[in-house]
Amino acid sequence: MTVPTIVASLLAVAIAALISALITWISRPLLQRYALARPNARSSHRIPTPQGAGIAVIAATLGVALALAAWFNVAVPPALVVATIVIAMVGFADDIVSLPVLVRLVLQAACVSAVVFTAPDDARIVPALPLALERGLIVLAGVWFVNLVNFMDGLDLMTVAEVVPVTAALALFGWYGDLSPSAALLATALCGAMLGFVPFNRPVAKVFLGDVGSLPIGLLLGWCLLELAWHGQPAAALLLPAYYLADSTITLFRRIIRREPFWSAHRTHFYQRATDNGFTVKQVITEVFALNLVLALLAVVSVRAGSMSATIVSLFAGAVAVAIVLRRFSRPQAS
């Protein structure tokens, strides 16, 4: 890690934030007119709010990341760029006119598959598995990850509280050579773009990301975490998104066990139950952000310590930290 690299990264964050904020500010009147999210029984907001600011976040992320890649002569996978744009278009269409579930899943699976199956054959997590089987399992995990990021984007600043600590940690890994340069550049740009979105999404939000933002963010973030796992750090790749993984996966299995239509919108995620249990939006976001900082620190420890014992301790500590927050969110606040 050199001083010029740090300066360039910080400058990239600032530029991405500025571009994201500017596009969001310019596009708000159009989103107000054509992409208005009206509250319903499952919503966390109470007044009609425009959605679709993800256009600004993704435009800023890809624009800055590709510019950085050209400057540093780093190759960003073309399949990832195309898939991100396509999945953003799918999300935008769903924001305007709700698409059938099957159509969304097929298009998402196609985008994830395009990214995974065009990766080099030597990019492996479990070399003992046949390559086709491992890649197939990664596609399934990728589709789930894209959707869980979408599911968790249901509260003001929730996605910011998740993405900013995770991408900051990924950028740090890139500085120290623990992550591919292309993934580090994308993480840096995404971190900045999300920071530019903050003034518009802080409670009470003036605009939402929409599916046009949450879906491609899930794809980009998932790919960065996959790159981290491919670079021999699967524990860190699990620790960084541990809260989102736990909240979404536990909620999914609970709904399946109860024979509920798990594909339909609902208000049973832990963070949603927290607001029903007396937590304010700011309290929920603060706890999620703090938890993600802890998880990011544990991920850094697991990578930099370079020992199995440190990795096991970090994973256990991360699981305990997530469990504590989930338990708090599931219980009513004392009056």
Has residue 41 got a pLDDT over 60? no
The pLDDT > 70 percentage for the chain reads 94
Pick the closest to residue 294 from 310, 314, 311 (CA basis). Answer: 314
d(CA 3, CA 80): 29
* Residue-wise DSSP of 244-256: HHHHHHHHHHHHH
Contact 115/223 with Cβ under 8 angstroms? yes
Please say if the pLDDT value at position 258 is more than 90: no
- Would you state the pLDDT for residue 303? 95
Q: Any idea which residue has 């599916």 for tokens?
A: 211
pLDDT of 47: 75
3-state secondary structure of 51: strand
Nearest 10 degrees: Cα torsion 76, 221, 57, 152? 160
**Alpha carbons 24 and 226: distance in angstroms, whole number:** 29
308-329 confidence digits (pLDDT tens) = 999 999 999 999 999 999 999 9
**Which residue in 307, 130, 132, 139 sits closest to 233, CA to CA?**
307
**Helix (H), strand (E) at residue 37:** strand 36-37
The pLDDT-based confidence of 31 (bands split at 50, 70, 90) is confident
Closest to 20 (Cα-Cα) out of 194, 271, 136: 194
Task: State the pairing for strand pair 49-50/36-37.
Answer: antiparallel
**What mean pLDDT is predicted for residues 132-137?**
97
pLDDT in tens, 170-198: 999 998 899 999 999 999 999 999 999 99
Asked if residue 10 has pLDDT above 80, the reply is yes
Report the amino acid identity of residue 302: S
**What pLDDT score does 43 carry?**
57
pLDDT at position 34 is 72
pLDDT (tens digit per residue) in 192-248: 999 999 999 999 899 999 999 999 999 999 999 999 999 999 999 999 999 999 999
Q: What is the pLDDT of residues 73-103, one digit of tens each?
A: 999 999 999 999 999 999 999 888 888 889 9
Q: Which region holds residue 306: left if phi is over 0, alpha if psi is between -120 and 50, else beta?
A: left
Q: Which amino acid is at 214?
A: S
Confidence (pTM): 0.94
Lowest mean pLDDT among 8-12, 17-21, 276-280: 8-12
Q: How far is CA 280 from the centre of its chain?
A: 22
Cα(16)–Cα(163) distance, rounded to whole angstroms?
14
